[in-house]
Homo-oligomer: A and B are copies of this chain.
Amino acid sequence: MDSRAIAELILHLGRIASGDGLVGGLTPTQWTGLRYFARANRFSRTPSAFAAFHGTTRGTASQIIKGLVADGYLKQTRSRTDGRSIRLDPTRKARALLKDDPLQALVRAADALPPGVRGSFAAILQRLLGSVAVQAGKPLFGTCETCAHFEGDDCCQDGVSAYECGFVNEPLAAGELDQLCINFSSAKPGQPGIGTA
């Protein structure tokens, strides 16, 4: 009974926090896209990855992206290794607009929580998301922190490449560790992730 109230609360909170209609010239879907490309790592800033994240088709994702590119919020770059693939990077204009994100109301509210509470609250949200994603058969996005492919040399970092992704076999910069990745895989049972509660 209480669980149902929680589920409806999450839905409702998300709805009224994202704001209706145009805010700062962008529609709610465009805001979602902008937020995604501002938070995804370089392997995940593609139309297909966004479609998977957003739970929609590639066609719809393509339309959303087209609008953002036309308005100068995203810049397209063809991949050198794969001629089909396109990477989308947020422009400076996009970064500036994100300051006026209608979601900021919720961000401020979360910021007012005590630090300790905030951490455990986020962990529970992540847990719920993982459970729902599995039930819905959708891919789960996550960060290196709890990813099974993450190979961090916490003990013996001797040079430039202290961190590496075991999935794409490429070094990772420190700033990339908290970005969203489509290749995320839950840490193996016998080898728990770093920040696991």
Cross-chain contact of A124 among B3, B8, B32, B117 (Cβ < 8 A): B117
Q: Of all chain B residues, which has the CB nearest A17?
A: B132
Rounded to whole angstroms, the CA-CA distance of A20 and B136 in the bound complex is 11
Q: Is A194 an interface residue (CB 8 A)?
A: no
Q: Say which size band chain A's interface belongs to.
A: 35 or more
Shortest A142–chain B CB gap in Å is: 11
Among A63-71, A76-84, A108-116, A161-169, the stretch in contact with B: A108-116
Asked if residues A132 and B9 are in contact (CB atoms below 8 Å), the reply is no
Q: Do A131 and B109 form a contact, CB below 8 Å, given A10-B13, A11-B18, A122-B6?
A: yes
Cross-chain contact of A7 among B11, B55, B110, B127 (Cβ < 8 A): B110
Asked if residues B106 and A7 are in contact (CB atoms below 8 Å), the reply is yes
Q: Do A132 and B118 form a contact, CB below 8 Å, given A14-B10, A55-B16?
A: no
Rounded to whole angstroms, the CA-CA distance of A107 and B132 in the bound complex is 9
1/0 contact trace for A128-149 toward B, CB 8 Å?
Answer: 1101110110100000000000
- Which residues of chain B have C-beta atoms less than 8 A from A58's C-beta? none
Rounded to whole angstroms, the CA-CA distance of A112 and B124 in the bound complex is 11
Cross-chain contact of A133 among B6, B16, B55 (Cβ < 8 A): B16
Rounded to whole angstroms, the CA-CA distance of A55 and B9 in the bound complex is 14
23 A-B pairs in the complex with CB atoms less than 8 angstroms apart: A2-B118, A2-B122, A3-B108, A3-B113, A3-B118, A4-B107, A7-B103, A7-B106, A7-B107, A8-B35, A9-B125, A11-B17, A11-B106, A12-B53, A13-B14, A15-B32, A15-B54, A17-B136, A19-B136, A106-B128, A108-B131, A108-B135, A117-B124
Top 3 A-B residue pairs of the complex, sorted by shortest distance between their CB atoms: A14-B14, A109-B131, A3-B110
